Structure 1
Amino acid sequence: MAKTFESGDIPLADLLGQAHQGVLQLPDFQRGWVWDDDHIVSLLASVSRSFPIGAVMTLETGNADVRFQPRLLQGVPSSATADKPKYLLLDGQQRTTSLYLALRSGAPVPTRDTRKKDVERWYFADIHACIDPDADRNDAILSLPADKRRVNARGDVVLDASATEMQVRAGKAGLFPLDIVLNPAAITDWQVAFFMAGPPEEQVKIWKSFQEALILPFLHYSVPRIALDQKTTKEAVCQVFEKVNTGGVELTVFELLTATYAAENFRLREDWERRRATWADEPLLADLDATTFLQIVTLLWTRDRWEERTRDRIRSDRVPAVSAKRRDMLSLPLSEYRRWADAVTRALQGVVRFLQRERIFRARDLPYSTQLVPLTAILTLLGEGAFTPEPIAKLRQWYWCGVFGELYGGTTETRFANDLQDVLAWVQDNGEEPRTVRESQFQAERLLGLSRRNSAA
């Protein structure tokens, strides 16, 4: 199999420059930036000492089958020159955004303090502490409020770095503003002011040590980058994101499709919220989430595709399977979502009607919530005809065989597809009993030993 990624280093200045120009953006499924002040200080200290901060992962855009709505990193001006990014940042958002805000944005960083209070901060390097080999580098990175002044409990200003002429004289040897550390021209201007702030020979000596201790590490710093190319599939993007996401935030299919459909100007989240509101007062559907809804739609789409290909196929053609597995959900076209979503929404009324006939009235009393997927798909296709005597009897038999046979307790995606096909053939064409009915086994005496709710039986 051909390799679909490259690995190498990218200079920190180039990485943040790509973000500033809009060449590097985020896929819209990424959560927001959340790092606090302490995290940012520690990150800046690590870069200043040339310590590794971890790799970033990017995805090259341009694959027509993997389109996500992009958005700029936090702090990047909306006037960024590139409307369409060349790269999407899959991993490293928190670090990259923190570095961009602190070093490149030209504005105070909106973050939080140790008490979770919203604050705005500028970051400075204490020159004396940076050139002291025994000083803790974290202590050498100062975080100052938006006005660049630090006050004591009485409100007296004890440190003022609000202007260059004050910065070069602040502390024992000056406070260097880190928001210019990647800008050589701005560094030169600040350096001139620094040389004029004291005895020239002493200032030059201090500056040379500081340049080696902090400025050059920032200017020469490179970030390891794994670059996924255009051939990377949507399923691979999803899996990669979940594996590398050090924040432990699971990326759902719903979020990924939300970003995909947004590229076609369709707001999936708003559509889902509107649909969910139609059954908000129904206790049976309280736990029905967006991913489950998408599973039902995908099951119906793949069955319709299967029927069409089976009817029209040449013998040598491979017919795609009926499925609601992750890769199929990720491939769900917007046109097919629109085609089936209304029918599924209507069918959920029939699901409630069916379950209430079976004396199930709340979501917590559902034996298997996963069985809602094939049940809803079946009722979507059978419609009102499902509630006539013979079909309803067969549906009841299938449903309770699944429950007492405990057949929906493990991996269920294959059973979803089998049950949809089997039950429809059984009801509509008087075919053989579904596999769930044939495979169901239950010993009545088992009821005598059940004492907890974690068994559907």
Structure 2
Amino acid sequence: MSTFDSTKLPLPQVLSDVTSGVIQLPDFQRGWVWDDEHVKSLLVSIARSFPVGAVMMLDTGGDVRFQVRPVENVDFNGPVPEPEKLILDGQQRLTSLTQVLALDKPVKTFNEKGKAISRHYYIDIDIALEDDRLEEAFISVPDDRKIKTNFDRDVVLDLSTRELEIKNFFFPCSQILSSDAWEEDLHEYAPEKFGKFMAFRKNVLTAFRSYQLPAITLGKATSKEAVCLVFEKVNTGGVPLSVFELMTATFAADGFNLRDDWYGSTLRSVEGRYHRLSQEPILRGTEPADFLQAISILQSWEKRQADIQADKKGKMISAVSAKRATVLSLTLQDYEKWAPLVEEGFMLAAKFMRKECFFDGRELPYRTQLVPLAAVLSQIKERWLEPKVHDRLSRWFWCGVLGELYGGAVETRIANDFEDLMPWLLSDPDNESNERNGSLPRTISEAAFQESRLDTLRSRNSAAYKGLNILVLREGARDFFWKATIKELADEDTALDIHHIFPRAWCEDNGIKANIYNAIVNKTPISYKANRMIGRKAPSEYLAALQKHTQVALDDEAMNDILTTHRIPADLLRANDFHAFYAHRKAELLRLVESAMGKSAQLDQTGVLANSGKEE
């Protein structure tokens, strides 16, 4: 059965429906943005009876309810009426035509620089009747209906009264759909021009009055997910419609301002959830969609538990879900029930991340992995601090990071992880059969780390790269220059970065390829001061310089201890043996990975040395 109708609607009827409130906008539609030139171009197209594209609308009165608003510049004498249709596509065109053709007041538009301006639109009748000059005939004039030159000292066209409009023979576009009053005044002020006006009415005005606008109307039964998808497919504004915007419009229909609840409102002195979450640096940048996903997990999990308890006897049991359709099906009651718990869950997630040595949102490998984590913690609360529960949660987290399983579309993984983690975390930790009988969370079972991945990790934006850097830091890596750990320097806002251990210039001079020396194996976090002293020098040279110029002069043994905190083999570094160093440090980093994931890495057939960067 078709869920939409396609037809053609008379333009005058559509604009009448807009001004009467029969047709309005859903609140998730963004504002009107067309400039003066766009408006004039649209008018010319209709005057020439050219197609201007179909509009798409949604019938109201179904289960999907949105907060609505009138088209820009449309006012009502009484309360705003209930609309029968909502504009999904064609907002810019319908708003332009409504303001120009159906409202007797200035059009609020923009100039070529984006500055807001008010304009009245006219047609130069004489030019409009000339062949191939219709585009030049449409003009816009300022609010006072006067065009001036010489720094506004000289008026070159004055259309400020009906008499002046007629004598200058400029027709107001606001009279296009009904010109009776203008024609009566034409008889009074310039009857000699009436014959020419009739030709204009036939050639130009009739094109507007008889114009048929293609329209697609989605029926009342259209789901919220379908509305969202259709809107994104047809909207040409360049910005996709977010779940948050759609839910904001939905909840607003029930009198709840989701935007204020999330972002807060200075007008109402309301502090939003985003502000409270952002007190934790690791949670800065949390998206409202992440928060809604966590709620959808808990709501769908509760429903699944109820289905299981009810013993449906062969009937389908609902699934735990973080998919868009599930988020869009949330009711205001669902949000109000779960939002406080989810907020608490995110705050507990921040504490967990600190324990794993993540302290800033920029260090976070995957923001999406916080969603199932927050949902789980909202349920188990402080039990995550129990050593064996924490160890399991940590193992799951690092398998997701180092297995690089949370990139791209992860809605299914998010839901599966929550459902897997809830029974596993709280099951008997002493029962080793849990792992043997396949009860491990899928992310742990599916995670794999290939030894050769260490050779290809070069981008500091990749999840595994960020994760490995943190694994080194939480081992207590100390700076080459300052008498402090890297973590202590970070807390004091000392300039830090991840730098080459064997300097890039030295590697190039010694024939080491860029794809090898840029790998994470040859990088480690150090201060700007240490990096400046390293420069282009060979390791044996810069180590001697560092030991001499550190705050307290260091002997070889003390410097070697610092290098060891970075899992750097000191003897091989001092020997300037890049290939042996590379193989040894790669093996050390691999041990860190295996310890965090609780499973062995997948070794390459050729072995460690084959990937050390040595030329054949």
Q: Could you tell me the TM-score, scaled by structure 2's length?
A: 0.71
Partner of 1:146: 143
In structure 2, give the amino acid aligned to 1:138: E
* Equivalent in the alignment of 1:447: 454
Q: Which runs of 5+ in 2 are unaligned?
A: 264-271, 429-433, 465-616
Alpha-carbon distance in 1 for matches of 2:311, 2:9: 49
Counterpart of 2:180? 188
CA contact (8 A) 2:175 2:182 kept: no
- Residue 143 of structure 1 aligns to a residue in which SS? strand
1:249 pairs, out of 225, 239, 252, with 239
Distance in 2 of aligned mates of 1:124 and 1:199: 20
Aligned AA (1:279): L
1:337 match: secondary structure:
helix
Shift of 1:328: 0.5
Cα distance, 1:208 vs. partner?
2.2
Q: 1:82 and 1:266, CA in 2 relative to 1: closer, same or farther beyond 3 A?
A: closer
Of the three residues 90, 97, 100, the one matched with 1:102 is 100
Amino acid paired to 2:226: A
User: How far has the Cα of 1:198 moved from its partner?
Assistant: 4.2
* Aligned residue number for residue 258 of structure 1: 248
Deviation at 1:70, TM superposition (A): 1.1
**Corresponding residue for 1:321?**
319
Identical pairs, percent: 43
Deviation at 1:95, TM superposition (A): 0.5
Residue in 2 aligned with 1:215? 205
Deviates more, 1:445-454 or 1:119-128: 445-454
Question: Are 1:21 and 1:82, in contact at CA under 8 Å, matched by a contact in 2?
Answer: no
Q: Deviations over 1:351-390 (max 9, x none)?
A: 1111111111111211111111111111111101111111
Q: Partners of 2:211 and 2:196 in 1: how far apart?
A: 22
CA shift, 1:81, in A, is 7.1
How far apart, CA to CA, are the structure 1 residues paired with 2:4 and 2:415? 34
Q: What's the secondary structure of 2:277's corresponding residue?
A: coil
The CA deviation at 1:437 is 1.1
Counterpart position of 2:5: 6
Letter in 2 for 1:143: S
Aligned residue pair count: 446
Q: Distance in 2 between matches of 1:48 and 1:285?
A: 55
State the AA in 2 paired with 1:342: P
- For 2:31, the equivalent position in structure 1 comes to 32
Whether the 8 Å contact between 1:74 and 1:97 is mirrored in structure 2 is: yes
Q: Which runs of 5+ in 1 are unaligned?
A: none
Structure 2 match to 1:16:
15
What do residues 11-56 of structure 1 show as CA deviations (whole Å, max 9, x unaligned)? Answer: 1111111011111110111001111111111111111111111111
Given the superposition, is the C-alpha separation of residues 449 and 20 from structure 1 closer, same or farther in structure 2, using an over 3 Å criterion? closer
Residue 175 of structure 1: aligned partner: 170
Q: Distance in 2 between matches of 1:107 and 1:194?
A: 21
Displacement after TM superposition at 1:247 (Å): 1.4
Q: Aligned-pair distance for 1:197?
A: 4.0
Match of 1:42 in 2: 41
- Which digits, 9 at most, give the CA deviation of each residue in 1:288-328, with x for residues without a partner? 11111101111111111111111113213211110010100
Aligned amino acid, residue 220 of structure 1: S
Q: Describe the shift of the 1:264–1:199 C-alpha distance in structure 2 as closer, same or farther (beyond 3 A).
A: closer
> How far apart, CA to CA, are the structure 1 residues paired with 2:236 and 2:384?
48
Task: Decide whether the 8 Å contact of 1:124 with 1:141 is kept in 2.
Answer: yes
Q: Are positions 1:338 and 2:336 aligned together?
A: yes
Post-superposition offset of 1:443: 2.7
Name the CA distance, whole Å, in 2 between partners of 1:32 and 1:455.
Answer: 37
**Which residue identity is paired with 1:434?**
P
Read off the aligned partner of 1:303 and give its amino acid letter. Answer: W
Which shows bigger deviation, 368-377 or 446-455? 446-455
Give the structure 1 partner of residue 440 of structure 2. 433
Matches within 5 A, 1:306-317: 306-317=304-315
Is contact 1:23-1:82 (8 Å) kept?
no
CA distance in 1, matches of 2:122, 2:112: 19
Amino acid at match of 1:192: E
Task: State which structure, 1 or 2, has the greater radius of gyration over its C-alpha atoms.
Answer: 2
Give the distance between the partners of 1:358 and 1:47, measured in 2 at CA: 63
- Point out 4+ residue stretches in structure 1 off by more than 6 angstroms: none
CA shift in 2, pair 1:78/1:188, >3 Å:
closer
Deviation, structure 1 residue 75: 1.0
Aligned partners of 1:10 and 1:198: how far apart in 2? 36
Q: Tell me which amino acid in the other structure corresponds to 1:146.
A: D
TM-score after normalising by structure 1: 0.95
The whole-number CA distance in structure 2 between the counterparts of 1:33 and 1:410 is 33
| Deviation (angstroms), 1:80 | 6.2
Q: Is the 8 A contact 2:280 2:347 kept in 1?
A: no
SS in 2 for 1:134: coil
Aligned partners of 2:451, 2:357: CA distance in 1, in Å?
Answer: 20
Contact 1:21 / 1:81 at 8 angstroms: preserved in 2?
no
Give the 5 Å matches for 1:59-208. 59-63=58-62, 65-79=63-77, 83-135=81-133, 137-154=134-151, 155-170=153-168, 174-183=169-178, 187-198=179-190, 200=192, 203-208=193-198
For 1:42 and 1:95, the matched residues in 2 are separated by: 11
The CA deviation at 1:244 is 0.6
1:364-443 aligned within 5 A: 364-430=362-428, 432-443=439-450
SS of 1:169 mapped into structure 2: helix
Q: Which amino acid aligns with 1:348?
A: F
- Range with bigger deviation, 105-114 or 73-82: 73-82
Correspondence for 1:227: 217
Residue by residue, what CA displacement relative to the aligned partner does 1:394-447 show, whole Å, maximum 9, x if unpaired? Answer: 000111111111111232111111111111111123452111111111134532
Using the TM superposition, give the Cα deviation of residue 334 of structure 1 relative to its aligned residue in structure 2, in angstroms. 1.1
User: RMSD of the TM alignment (CA)?
Assistant: 1.4
1:296-307 correspondence to structure 2 within 5 Å: 296-307=294-305
Q: Is the 8 A contact 1:60 1:87 kept in 2?
A: yes
